[in-house]
Structure formats: structure tokens, C-alpha cells
Amino acid sequence: MQVATGKSILNGIAIGPIRIYRKEDAQLAVTSTRTAEEELSRFEDACEKAKEQLAGLYEKALAEVGEENAAIFEIHQMMLDDDDYLNAAREIIERQGATAEYAAATTGDNFAATFADMEDAYMKARATDVRDISHRLVNILTGAGEASHLGDEAAILVADDLTPSETVQLDKSKLLGFVTRHGSTNSHTAILARTMNIPALIGVDFDDSWDGKLAIIDGYNHCVYVDPASELLNTMEEKRQADLKQESLLQGLKKKPNVTLDGREIKVYANIGNAADVGLVLQNDAQGIGLFRSEFIYLDSEDYPSEEKQFEIYKRVVETMAGKKVIIRTLDIGADKQADYFQLDKEENPALGYRAIRICLTRKEIFKQQLRAILRASAFGTVSVMFPMIISVREVRDAKDTLEECRAELREQGVAMGEVETGIMIETPAAVMIADELAEEVQFFSIGTNDLTQYTLAIDRQNPKLDNFYNAFHPAVLRMIRMTVEAGHRHDCWVGICGELGADQTLTETFLRMGLDELSVSPPSVLPLRKCIRSLDLSKTPEN
Amino acid sequence: MKQFQYTITDPVGIHARPAGLLVKAAKALDSAVTVEKVGGKSAPANKLMALMGVGVKQGDTVVVTIEGGDEEASFQAMEQFFKENL
């Protein structure tokens, strides 16, 4: 058995034989036996044909992956109208007496090299697009056509790189997953794979001996097993079956509203702790992200993550959610979540200590860096910002002031921003008791039931000896939740739950009766929760 | 010759689709239009790849120059295009 690691684009399992796809690196004839006029007219014809193909691909992509993702093929068509590109190719034909295919390939390489040299990651990715259109021309000119890279048997495709058009052209019924050596998680190909729901790994160093062998792509663990041991094969098959079961549950519930039999609707969002989880959020059809734990960016980092780095991550998540709400919780570090470079002192009672908003409000430069990144990302979709560990009105006002300060600075610099809704976590008894005053400051509350329970019951949730005393259904906690909802609603503030209790189906009816507006749960809990909501009838008298 | 300055507010800058639209708009005019990034490269507005190669991002300021033909009409058209699309 061989194991190779890469970067996973989609969490999922694929099992099947490997088919290595090699691009026809056929030696192109350089010197033409035709006249320059003939080659030029072959070239023009190929461009027309390519544009026709692209128009067709655009329609296919539009139907399969939506307008945003299909736009790439429109751009490819425009690239084929570019005078510089066309003239460069024409010149090679005229001056060097070259074949049209050689001219197209060379021009593509030259332009791609220019883009690849640019600093901007987005522009670098354009190099693939130029190669893609040139490759298309070469295929048309050499009669290679649009070969199907997959045989009759469903397979895992392994390639150096896949262009967006290759990805869309693949016959999905034969494609189990794909593995590439190159490519980035930001590439169009990666986005398409995510949208098409195909397990994929990039950055994998493969060798030609893999061809035809049985393999497993484990998207959860970012690796591919070639010639897997039978034990592993069984485990993975079970996992895959579990995924399929989830998938069929999804098919049945997809696009259905989270509404009770008597018509009460509630929003179900998902919690994520990593940008890669966005795929799961969409797969499970959550209506938004109710809790984006931004601290993972800090915990995964050796030093304070730059504004730019954070912006890229937030932007990717916000863009992928395509207009659906993304609630970003600002840095919640301290207590059980530690990063060395923060150099936090050891504390007697870390849960009651220097953490979350308390760090942000005293170390403004860190806070502002994050807020600026969030504000910049807000131009790309619907972003809300949420402050954790609030105990007073003053803290909320300070945090909001800092946010406004960042907004003013960015505006001064001419940076685009969207509307950003502000909210707070309700996770301390103090916040519950003054929820009326807090509700006047913000647009929403999200109840963090884990911490709220720990602080209400005075039980350390890290201490296993206290498990017998810990009761998540303690009436004190449920009353706290009710008080929060009532106070919020008195002031037009919507109220949700983003703690673990939100996914507890024994409480779903209680929460609906309390009037909660939203529940945010882990992605795999979204559909089971939807199923539960759709089976409830609030018009009936509760059993107890 | 007429000129105007514009600071890009579109989140992706003059890339891909917006660049394609600009090329279309510029080709429809009888004037030569050049886009220059302040402190950077410049490119004719009717050439897609060259334009993308300038690498204009959100927040960048560009100088748009219109030369020849009906400069007044082209100026109006370009200014309106930038405001609406970029």
C-alpha cells in the first residue's frame, strides 16, 4: 500500500481504479507545408470553432454549476477575441512559416508565462486560462477533438493539472474523484469540483505506476491510498456508505424549508471552524454560517496572522457562500484555546480570565487587524460580525467604536465594504441579566450554550469529575435562554443558539416554542435537525 | 486628448469579466482609450489580456486617456462605464 498526501478540496471518500490522464504532449509540427494564408485561415477557423465550443460549455456549466462558475467560459470566449493574443499567433505563422497549432501553443505558453510571473494570486491563476484556450485551439487544429479522458469504467482521474474546461467536460457518471499534482484550492477547477460534489485532492506527487491500481481518496484526511490493505478498504467503504446515506437524506430534504407542520419557520445555519468546512456547509444545505470560529486562523499560525491572510480566508468563505449569511465571531482565544505568540500568562482560573473580547479590547492592534479583514471581506457577500464573552454594555460600545474606526479608515482608502450586521454572543449570566440593554446596541444575539451552562452552573467543563453534576438541561440554563429570547425580541433583535444544545433534538420543540429565530449547528446536524423541525406541530399542546 | 482619474471600487478590480466588459465598451468607440495604473503599467482599453496584465485592483487609481475621434462622446461613455461597472 502506498500513501500520498495533498490538499483536500472536498471532504468525501472515493474508491476505484486509477486512470492517469496525460495531456497529449504530441510533438506539434513546427514548420508548415501549407502557405501562410492557408495556415492563417486554419487558425481563424479554429478560433471560431473554439468559441462555439465554449458557448456550449458555458450552457453546460450554467446548468450544472451556476452562473458564477460558468462565467469563466464567457471570459475564455473573450480571450479568443483578444487582438494581442491573435496577432501574436498570426505573427508566428507569417514570420516563421509555422503551423497554426504550433503558433497557438507557443502564444499560449508566452502569455501564460507573463501571467504566472505576476504577484497577484488571482492573476497567476489566469495563466491556466490562457493555456486552456490555447490547448483548445491545438486540439481543434490537430483533430484531437475533445477526448474523453475516462474509459468505460468509473475511475479516479489522476493528472498533472486539470483546466476548468476539462473539469466540466468530464463525464460525471464515470468520475469518482480526481487527484492532481498542481493547482490551488482557489482555482476555478477546485471551485467547480466543490460545486459538483466530487472528492478531489491537489498537490499530490503521484507516479505513473499508479495507473490502473485500486485507490481510495480520503478527502477528510487529505490523502490517497494506492493498493489499500483490505482492512482499510472496509473501513473506508463503511465511511463512504455513511456519506451516501447522508447524501440520500440530503436529496430528500434539500431545498426544503425548516418549517413545522403548523407553519412556524426557523433558520438553520452551520458552525465552522475552518475555511475548508464551507464545502460541508453547502453539501448539507445550511442557510448560512451561524458561527465562523475565526480563532482557528490564529491557532494554525506561528505568529499573528496578517490582515491580508485573514482577508483571503474570510473572502473565500464569503464568496463560496454566495450571498448567504456568514457570521464571523471575532477572536475567541484564551482559556482552553492558546497560541504561544500571544504570550498569555498562566492563570489560576483561565475560564474566568483574560480571554476573547477582553484581549481584543486591550490589544487593539490585533483586534483592528481582524476587523479590517472582516470589513474588506464584506464587499463579497453577506457578513455579520459577532463579539464573544460580553458582560457589559460598555464592552459592546467599545467594540462597535473600534469597528467604526476601521470602517472610516478603509473608507478613506477607497476600499469597498458591504453592510455588516453586528451581534454578540450571550454566554455569561451577566449578559442574560442585562440583555434588554445589550439588545439596544446590536442586531442579533447568539447564545453560546456551552459557556453559558458552565458559568450558570459554576461547573468547569474541562473537569471530567464534574460530569455527574453537569446538566445541560438544567432549568436555570433553559430559563436563561428564554429570558434572552424575550429581551431580544422586545428590541427587534433576532436571537439564535450556536452552542451544542442547538442540535439537541429533544429540545428543538422547546426552542421553537421559546421563539428562537435561528439554530446554528455542526454541518452534519443540519439535515437531521431539519427533519426533526418538519415533524413538529406546535399547535398541539406540549406533552409536559 | 481628454483624461479622467478613477479609483476602482469593484472588489475584483479590472480582471476577467469587468475587463471583458470594458474591452467591449472601448471597442464600440471611435477614440483610442488607454488605461494607466497610477505608478504602474498601462494598456489600451480594447485589449483584454494586456488590460488584465496591468493588474488593477480594488483601491487602485487609474488614469483613463481618450484620444481622437469624438473625444467628448467617448469621454462621457467611458466615465459612465467606470462609474457603473468598476
- Among A203, A205, A218, which residue's Cα sits nearest to residue A156? A218
Question: Quick check: B49 and A416 CB within 8 A?
Answer: no
What are the chain B neighbours of A114 within 8 Å (beta carbons)?
A: 53
- Among B1, B11, B3, which residue's Cα sits nearest to residue B79? B3
Burial A475-503 (b: 16+ CB within 10 A, else e): eebbebbbbbbebbbebebbbbbbbbbbb
Mean pLDDT, rounded, for A153-169:
80
- Interface check for B41 against chain A (CB to CB < 8 A): the answer is no
Q: Each residue of A329-376: pLDDT tens digit?
A: 999 988 777 788 888 888 888 889 999 999 999 999 999 999 999 999
| Inter-residue contact A198 to A187 (CB < 8 Å) | no
Q: Is the pTM of this model over 0.90?
A: no
Is A166's pLDDT higher than 90? no
- Among A355, A351, A353, A350, which residue's Cα sits nearest to residue A330? A355
Burial class of residue A22, CB neighbours in 10 A (0-12, 13-18, 19+): exposed
Our CA-based measurement puts residue B58 at a distance from the nearest CA of chain A, in whole angstroms, of 7
Q: What is the DSSP track for A176-225?
A: EEEEESS--TTSHHHHHHHHHT--EEES----GGGTT-EEEEETTTTEEE
Q: Each residue of A510-522: pLDDT tens digit?
A: 999 999 999 999 8
In the sheet with B2-7, reading across from the earlier edge strand, the strands are B2-7, B61-67, B32-37, B42-44
* Dihedral over alpha carbons A318, A323, A324, A330 (to 10 degrees): 40
Q: Each residue of A104-143: pLDDT tens digit?
A: 988 988 888 887 777 666 677 778 888 889 988 988 888 7
Provide the 3-class DSSP secondary structure of residue A161: coil
Mean residue pLDDT of chain A comes to 88
The total of other beta-carbon atoms located within 10 Å of residue A473's CB is 12
As given in the structure block, the three cell numbers for residue A94 are: 507569417
Question: Quick check: B17 and A75 CB within 8 A?
Answer: yes
What is the Cα Rg of chain A in Å? 27
- Among A478, A521, A492, A100, which residue's Cα sits nearest to residue A289? A521
pLDDT computed for residue A46 by the predictor: 92
Provide the 3-class DSSP secondary structure of residue A109: helix
Question: Quick check: B47 and A82 CB within 8 A?
Answer: yes
Treating both helix axes as pointing N-terminal to C-terminal, what angle do B16-27 and A67-79 enclose, rounded to 10 degrees?
50
Question: Quick check: A122 and B15 CB within 8 A?
Answer: yes
Question: Quick check: A79 and B15 CB within 8 A?
Answer: no
As given in the structure block, the three cell numbers for residue A472 are: 445541560
- Among A335, A383, A370, A340, which residue's Cα sits nearest to residue A356? A335
DSSP state of A541: P
What are the chain A neighbours of B7 within 8 Å (beta carbons)?
A: 414
Q: Each residue of B21-41: pLDDT tens digit?
A: 888 888 888 888 999 988 888
Among chain B residues, the shortest Cα distance to A315 is held by B11
Q: What is the DSSP track for A372-406?
A: HHHHHHGGGSEEEEEE-S---HHHHHHHHHHHHHH
What is the Cα Rg of chain B in Å? 11
pLDDT computed for residue A513 by the predictor: 96
- Among A276, A150, A164, A262, which residue's Cα sits nearest to residue A219? A276
- Among A30, A542, A534, A535, which residue's Cα sits nearest to residue A259? A534
pLDDT computed for residue A244 by the predictor: 85
| Inter-residue contact A321 to A289 (CB < 8 Å) | yes
Question: Quick check: A75 and B49 CB within 8 A?
Answer: no
Is A460's pLDDT higher than 90? no
Is A246's pLDDT higher than 90? no
Our CA-based measurement puts residue B82 at a distance from the nearest CA of chain A, in whole angstroms, of 15
pLDDT computed for residue A25 by the predictor: 57
- Interface check for B42 against chain A (CB to CB < 8 A): the answer is no
pLDDT computed for residue B21 by the predictor: 82
- Interface check for A84 against chain B (CB to CB < 8 A): the answer is yes
Is A457's pLDDT higher than 90? yes
Per the DSSP assignment, residues forming a β-bridge with B31 are: none
pLDDT computed for residue A12 by the predictor: 86
For B7-45, what is the HEC assignment? ECCCCCCCCHHHHHHHHHHHHCCCCEEEEEECCCCEEEC
Residue A263 and residue A255: Cα distance in Å, rounded? Answer: 16
Complex ipTM:
0.77
Question: Quick check: A83 and B57 CB within 8 A?
Answer: no
pLDDT computed for residue A427 by the predictor: 96
Residue A331 and residue A373: Cα distance in Å, rounded? Answer: 12
Catalytic residue among B15, B21, B47, B57: B15
Kind of pairing between the strands at A223-226 and A7-8: unpaired
Q: Which of residues 53-82 of B touch A (CB under 8 A)?
A: 53, 55, 57-59
Amino acid at B62: V
Mean pLDDT, rounded, for A4-8:
88
Residue ranges of chain B whose pLDDT lies below 50: none
- Interface check for A111 against chain B (CB to CB < 8 A): the answer is yes
Our CA-based measurement puts residue A542 at a distance from the nearest CA of chain B, in whole angstroms, of 51
Q: Which of A85, A120, A379 sits opposite B55 (nearest CB)?
A: A120
Is A175's pLDDT higher than 90? no
Q: Which of B49, B55, B59 sits opposite A84 (nearest CB)?
A: B49
| Inter-residue contact A162 to A201 (CB < 8 Å) | no
In which band, very low, low, confident or very high, does the pLDDT at A377 lie, cut at 50, 70 and 90? very high
